[in-house]
Structure 1
Amino acid sequence: MSHNHSHQRSQTNLLVSIFLNIGITLAQVIGGIISGSLALLSDALHNFTDVVSLIISYVASKYSKKSATSNKTFGYKRAEIIAAFVNSASLIIIAIILIKESILRFLNPQAIDSTLVIWLSVVAIIGNGFSVLLLLKDRKSNMNIASAYLHLLTDMLASVAVLVGGLLMKYYEVYWLDSLLTAAIAVYLIFVGFELFKNSFKVLMLFTPSTIEIDDIVARINKLSTVKNMHHVHIWQLNEDEVHLEAEIDFDKDITLSEFDKILVQIEDILFSEFGINHINIQPEFNKTDNKNIIVQD
């Protein structure tokens, strides 16, 4: 399947997941108010963030393919990274709020209509489980889809926890378990959200991808014929598909433009095949008096 078809499929799956989660959220809010279950309301709140995150992911997915213009030379290629950053940050914020509320409820436990909690958690498990399956295939190749997938997966697991808690409350009347489950859900949200938050933050800050060692690249390119010194190197990840490199290269003789083109083809092949860098911009130099350090702060 082509990349465009895969992208279209993921957009359709996101749209289906949005409508599923709108229905789940409305049902859980009403059920949480009627039953008095904080765990159910917290699950509904998380589901609401799912709806928001899925909408963000869907809009970002649509915008990411818009063409570049003279004032947007990269187009909207970073839209999905921004979506992943916002979604992961929202997971952490919601989790902190849930922990606070669970402590307050633990100190003041209340009787809960556990039957309603059980049935609504089953509905949420089925709906979120289906959404998780829809996004399962594309989550590994797209950070934006991964953020939406994590929202849905954690909410499905949260619903499973709420179901278990509802059953225990129904048959053993341990209502404090509602608060404990809420806190456990929140801690898990922080755990899964932080890694995605960190990765998207690194991309937005133009950090060098963790899989790439600049010293190894410089040493490899410096071995090429006529190359004297590779310096002033910048490497960053633009989005899921593009890793960019720009650098200056000193040559040991005053080569012609056609000779440079031949060497450039070699460099491009090495950087792509050995280091996964697919966008390269090289500035050739000869006897230029500038800073020859590998890393130069512009």
Structure 2
Amino acid sequence: MGHHHHHSSSQVRGKNLLIAIILNIGITLAQIIGGFLSGSLALLSDALHNLSDVISLAISYVANKLAKRDASLKRTFGYKRAEIIAAFVNAATLIIIAVLLIIEAVERFRFPQEIDSGLVIWLSIVAILGNGFSVLLLKRDSKANMNMRSAYLHLITDFMASVAVLIGGLLMKFYQFYWVDSLLTLAIAIYLIIVGYDLLRTSTRVLMLFTPTDLALEEIAERITQLPAIRNVHHIHVWQLNEDETHLEAHIDFNNDIKLSQFDAILVDIEELVYHEFGINHVNIQPEFGKCDSKDLIVQD
């Protein structure tokens, strides 16, 4: 097996994620207390939103630490997929939260309640500052991998929800427009569903070992077959282990009954070709000569 190493996950700063978790725990506690004191369902629902995000951030933090562990005899890939699983869980919770917010918003449309808007305004400002700082902490890391991007998206939605609560608090204080809070909640929920679905779909593709969307198996096989010694490429699989590693395994028919040393030299050519042209950094080839097996590109195992 050949491989080119490139591990961006090791560069992700877990410390920033831990700071964001601590900040969000503080925000959640403040909103729960404030929600009960003011009688604000908006604050309590935002607190619930923040609490779910604290759990999601904690999952992301643990996954980030696990992903850096070394492989072992019992875990030959280590915990490299921990962050993909975390991204999947976080994306699923984003969608669930969105549905709960929509139900709550519809209920508030039907039965608007007068609340202590002053306390809502001050606590939403605290939440905006805390979430805004957390978003800035994770902005750079969000580009590194799916797990950190899911945590970043959770924090952005927290920030937006807090802004919505602030706007709602101001409109309730000065105009008694209690329905505005429900309208803004619906808008946030729709945004949650959009970003959550995209992340859920992406992480699901990786977990299901689907071929990356930007790679065409026919094109990869054709390019490998252009090497002089190779007759045919078949029984091919291409998948992502995580966001850093793309794997290729295939059976290759050779024109001649070559020596092992010749195969090693050709294997290096294949590794260089697929790495530079397709970004594939792990290659596992089964060499064949005159073997009677299926020569189809895709063979059901």
Q: TM-score range by the shorter chain?
A: over 0.9
Q: What is the CA–CA distance in structure 1 between the aligned matches of 2:276 and 2:76, rounded to whole Å? A: 26
Q: State the number of aligned residues.
A: 296
Which of 89, 101, 104 is the matching residue for 1:101? 104
**1:5, CA displacement in angstroms?**
9.8
**1:8, CA displacement in angstroms?**
6.2
Task: Please give the residue correspondences for 1:32-181 in structure 2 after superposition, counting only pairs within 5 Å.
Answer: 32-181=35-184
Secondary structure at the aligned position of 1:139 is classed as helix
Q: What is the CA–CA distance in structure 2 between the aligned matches of 1:54 and 1:115, rounded to whole Å? A: 30
Secondary structure at the aligned position of 2:141 is classed as coil
Structure 2 counterpart of 1:173, one-letter code: Q
Q: Give the 4+ runs in structure 1 shifted more than 6 A.
A: 3-6
Task: Please give the residue correspondences for 1:239-278 in structure 2 after superposition, counting only pairs within 5 Å.
Answer: 239-278=242-281
% same residue: 66
Q: What is the CA–CA distance in structure 1 between the aligned matches of 2:36 and 2:61, rounded to whole Å? A: 30
Q: Which moved more, 1:158-167 or 1:230-239?
A: 158-167
Q: CA RMSD in A?
A: 1.5
**1:4, CA displacement in angstroms?**
8.3
Structure 2 counterpart of 1:252, one-letter code: N
Q: What is the CA–CA distance in structure 2 between the aligned matches of 1:26 and 1:4, rounded to whole Å? A: 37
Which of 23, 29, 36 is the matching residue for 1:20? 23
Residue pair 2:9, 2:64 contacting (<8 A) in 1 also: no
Q: Which moved more, 1:157-166 or 1:120-129?
A: 157-166
The one-character-per-residue Cα deviations of 1:8-35 (angstroms, maximum 9, x if unpaired) are 6521001101100000001111112222
Unaligned runs of 5+ in 2: 1-5
Residue pair 1:253, 1:286 contacting (<8 A) in 2 also: yes
The TM-score, its normalising length taken from structure 2, stands at: 0.95
Q: What is the CA–CA distance in structure 2 between the aligned matches of 1:181 and 1:275, rounded to whole Å? A: 44
Unaligned runs of 5+ in 1: none
The TM-score, its normalising length taken from structure 1, stands at: 0.96
Q: What is the CA–CA distance in structure 2 between the aligned matches of 1:190 and 1:6, rounded to whole Å? A: 26
Residue pair 1:246, 1:280 contacting (<8 A) in 2 also: yes
Q: For CA contacts below 8 A with separation 6 or more, give which structure has more relative contact order.
A: 2
